[in-house]
Structure 1
């Protein structure tokens, strides 16, 4: 049986081959629905890589963002680029990716947040992530703009910050998808 290894490294500590393999894995995992801005969102933080032998079979990233809630700017561990190779799904690799990131979210951030891909909400809910029930928005250069299309896909992992899951949640601005 091939050994599974989980590595965690900052973007700056990964070589070009690892970054290229991670990006290719995510493009395939999202069936081509993973673009340049999605990849950009995954950079600049921690990457969790699951390998089977020398082969990369899973990736997830944790980047810092600011999320506004209840009059506070919360330091948020935001999960991006979660994917497992299609022929390796259902074997606990996604859980291994998230275990590594969630431990860091709980120790270093006011809360965790992510936008779940279609059909993935149950996976996150089973891990303790809670669906955001209130309105979501983004703080744009011209002010706060509602993101109603994202209202049903945002999940949070509560840590130290008090949260009203039915309140407003506003993320910081970035190119591409707000959430």
Structure 2
């Protein structure tokens, strides 16, 4: 039996956080940096446990996106992973459902950057590909992030036109 627990980073123990990081490093085949970790903490986590083993995780952290002259409070999804031995059992949906509930209740927009493998999963859950150009508000001003065009997915809470430009706030590492 799998138990899904929802908690803010501040309410997770050091052991919980270590289990999350270990799961993410394993799930991303070691391609998970300190900056990726920094992006994952500081928000609300959904953790799927099978006994005392963490088998699934997703988090939502607050960001600000610029869209048509206004700042949108954005719930950005990070660290979505399921243990290799527990995939295709509904655990991805089990950890995404509470994250999406938080987005719908507390944010103007949900957003994430997806790998090609994740796209069918997110689209089936109602996430939509952002069609317009992407940029980032960097320390040097607004800079286009053309390499990220087509890889950003949103869960609109307030109406948005997916064809308009969107700009994310700055952070170290991958901005999207």
Q: Aligned to 2:94, what secondary structure does the other structure show?
A: helix
1:59-70 counterparts in 2 under 5 A?
Answer: 59-70=57-68
Alignment RMSD: 0.7
Structure 1 position 101, deviation (Å): 0.4
1:139 aligns with one of 132, 137, 140: 137
Please name the residue that 1:110 is paired with.
Answer: 108
User: Scaled by the length of structure 1, what TM-score is found?
Assistant: 0.96
Structure 1 position 87, deviation (Å): 1.0
Please name the residue that 1:175 is paired with.
Answer: 172
1:165 paired to 2:165: no
Please name the residue that 1:124 is paired with.
Answer: 122
User: Scaled by the length of structure 2, what TM-score is found?
Assistant: 0.98
Please name the residue that 1:15 is paired with.
Answer: 13
Please name the residue that 1:97 is paired with.
Answer: 95
2:70 aligns with one of 62, 69, 72: 72
- Point out 4+ residue stretches in structure 1 off by more than 2 angstroms: none
2:22 aligns with one of 21, 24, 31: 24
Give unmatched runs, 5+ long, in structure 1. none
Structure 1 position 117, deviation (Å): 2.1
CA–CA distance in 2 between the matches of 1:32 and 1:147? 25
Please name the residue that 2:41 is paired with.
Answer: 43
Q: Aligned to 2:168, what secondary structure does the other structure show?
A: strand
* Superposed CA offset, 1:22-74 (max 9, x none): 00100000011111100000011011100011110011111000001111100
